[in-house]
Amino acid sequence: MKVHSLREMESCCSKKDIKVALIATADLAEQKDVISLITKKVGVSPISFSADSFTLAKFYQELEQFSFFSSMKCLLISDVHLLKKKEFDSFTAYLDNPNPNITLIFVAAGSFTHAKLKAAIDKQGIVFDLLKEKPWEKKQRMALHIRQVCNKEKITIEQRCIELLLQMVGEQQSTLECELEKVICFVGSRKSITAQDLSAIVMPVFHETIWRLSDELFASNFLQAWQVGKELLEESSIFYLLSNLRGQVRTALEIITIYQAEGSIAVTRRFAYLKGAFLEKKVALLQRYGAGRLKQALLLLYEAEVQAKASKLKESLIFEMLLVNLTKEAIAC
């Protein structure tokens, strides 16, 4: 069964047991929301697997082991789009005769092209796929999401203010929710959001500067990356930078994966802005950096976020050390 919104997903979870689901969206907040709905329905916390360390042996070992305290189990595989054909074929074969006490959750932040597995999940469970969503469709969906959040808080917001918020921070749900939460706290008992409130409290997203920072990182240019990073730190926070860089690295890894498997035409189908000489230049940059380094970069970004939350070091020092590691020719984790 295919669903295209969180509301549809909530409806499905309330009416039926979920034994397998594919969550295909690059937005981490959307992934988290859908996973939360499913695991709440199942009643157990998921056992997580990551694509970069996944093995079929460990997966099937976990399938066969059960706790004394529960007859139910939930297994979650993140970044499933990065796995190989043999894993996809094995999942498809398993779904011919699945264990009714196990719920499988597949999470894809990039293009999911294995048609047989997707069809098997569609037949047995739920496919929540937003990766092929048109830009205007996502804008409408995020506008509705803003309206629903405000309604839940009993706060009014005009349509022009919704459009202004989307213009200021973009359409990534996690960023929108973070900024909207700040605005709701700011207006307090007034219970209405104005354009003046947004101008006073919302932190605009610096799309072009983030792209420039990521390009300098992928080119291993520490000094240039540090200059751009310092500018962004003055206007934002390290958590904002880490979140956006993580998105850039995930996108880069997806571009490389699609290019190596299907060629440039497939990349352009997924990312319409990547074509011709610009595409070839981008791919050459990412190939020099390497898929292995991109995967390790995701771990370094996660470690930097944990350090920023737990330590008393200055954000600028944490970010500088991160850039040193990210621009090394060989990343050591």
**pTM of this structure:** 0.56
Protein fold of 135-201: Helicase, Ruva Protein; domain 3 (1.10.8)
d(CA 26, CA 3): 16
70: confidence class by pLDDT, cuts 50, 70, 90 = low
* Residue 55 in tokens: 């093995």
CATH 1.20.272.10 corresponds to the domain 207-326: yes
Q: Domain boundaries in the chain?
A: 2-129, 135-201, 207-326
Percent of the chain with pLDDT over 90: 23
Residue type (1 letter), 51: A
Q: What is the spatial distance between Cα 30 and Cα 9, in angstroms, rounded to a whole number?
A: 11
First to last CA, the chain: 41
Tens-digit pLDDT profile for residues 241-270: 887 888 889 889 999 999 998 888 888 887
> Given this model, what pLDDT does residue 63 score?
84
Segment 300-333, tens digit of pLDDT: 998 988 888 887 888 889 999 999 999 986 444 4
Average pLDDT, the chain: 85
Q: What gap in Å lies between CA 243 and CA 227, rounded to an integer? A: 19
User: Which residues in 16-55 are b (16+ Cβ under 10 Å) and which e?
Assistant: eebbbbbbbbbbbbbbebbbebbbebbeeebeebbbeebe
Q: What average pLDDT does range 7-14 have in this prediction?
A: 79
Q: What is the pLDDT of residue 331?
A: 45
What does the pLDDT read at residue 332?
A: 45
Q: Give the integer Cα–Cα distance in Å for 333 and 325.
A: 9
Q: Using one digit for the tens of pLDDT, what is the confidence trace for 143-162?
A: 998 998 999 899 999 998 99
- Chain segment 80-123, per-residue pLDDT in tens: 888 888 999 999 999 998 888 889 999 988 777 788 998 999 98
Amino acid letter, residue 307: Q
Q: Determine the average pLDDT of the residues in 212-223.
A: 90
How far apart CA 307 and CA 238 sit, in angstroms, is 11
> Taking 80 as the threshold, does the pLDDT of residue 129 lie above it?
yes
Greater confidence (199 vs 300) lies with 300
Residue with the bigger pLDDT between 127 and 29: it is 127
Q: What is the CATH number of domain 2-129?
A: 3.40.50.300
Helices assigned H by DSSP within 43-172 = 56-64, 85-94, 115-124, 135-152, 159-169
